Amino acid sequence: MTREYPDEPTGGFPTPPRTATDREGRTIDIARIAEGDRDTLVEMYLEFDPADRAQGIPPTSEESIRDWLESICTDDCLNVAAWHRDHLVGHATLVADGEGAYELAIFVLQAYQGSGIGTALLRTVLGVAREAGVERVWLTVERWNTPAVRLYEKVGFERVGGESFEVEMAIRLH
């Protein structure tokens, strides 16, 4: 698939570990996630409201969540998570697409949505990617999900295509 990317790179993203205060006044720690945290990730996805699934992910049963996490992170992926105390409340992941670019997805538990955690996670995972030398990142988002499209535009993604149910967006980091 040929995908277009903005000509100019976007920078200025923070890198983890960092601490942010969300709009509810909660202290949120953002850090890279280690392989050993897989079980914690599975627990977060088990808590995830199925109504907030997008394009079939995350899956709903524990087994399919484990399979999915396993399958997306076989060779090359970058993961950043957001914690409220010891509760994992958000996860951003970048997965190599086999064509030199990375696909991005981000999930935040319902009780923590709309409080700025998604933006902080997104900016941080892009900071990790930029530091790792990743040049191009893309994502798809359901066309009617205007809040998500706005969030991605705010951090520097541009719409690059998608005339159907999904909008394609991309950012250049280098």
What minimum distance in Å lies between the beta carbon of 33 and other proteins?
A: 16
- The residue count of the chain comes to 174
| Residue 97 makes contact with other proteins by CB under 8 A | yes
Bridge partner list, 174: none
What is the CA 56 to chain-centroid distance, rounded? 15
Residue 1 or 7 with smaller CB distance to other proteins? 1
Residue 39 or 163 with smaller CB distance to other proteins? 163
Residues 155-174 that bind other proteins (CB under 8 A): 163-166
Binding-site size, other proteins (CB under 8 A): 20
What minimum distance in Å lies between the beta carbon of 141 and other proteins?
A: 9
| Residue 36 makes contact with other proteins by CB under 8 A | no
Question: How many angstroms separate the CA atoms of 134 and 19, rounded?
Answer: 24
Question: Helix (H, G, I), strand (E, B), or coil: what is residue 65?
Answer: helix
Cis peptide before 16, with omega less than 30 degrees from 0? no
What minimum distance in Å lies between the beta carbon of 74 and other proteins?
A: 10
What minimum distance in Å lies between the beta carbon of 2 and other proteins?
A: 15
Tokens 């994992």, located at residue: 88
CB 88 within 8 A of CB 44: yes
First to last CA, the chain: 21
How many Cβ atoms sit within 10 Å of the Cβ of residue 70?
A: 10
Question: Helix (H, G, I), strand (E, B), or coil: what is residue 126?
Answer: helix
Residues 16-35 that bind other proteins (CB under 8 A): none
Residues 61-80 that bind other proteins (CB under 8 A): 68, 71-72
Choices 24-32, 52-60, 127-135, 147-155 (CB under 8 A): range interacting with other proteins? 52-60
| Residue 140 makes contact with other proteins by CB under 8 A | yes
| Residue 100 makes contact with other proteins by CB under 8 A | no
CB 173 within 8 A of CB 126: yes
Question: Site residues (CB under 8 A) for other proteins?
Answer: 54-57, 68, 71-72, 93, 95-98, 103-105, 140, 163-166
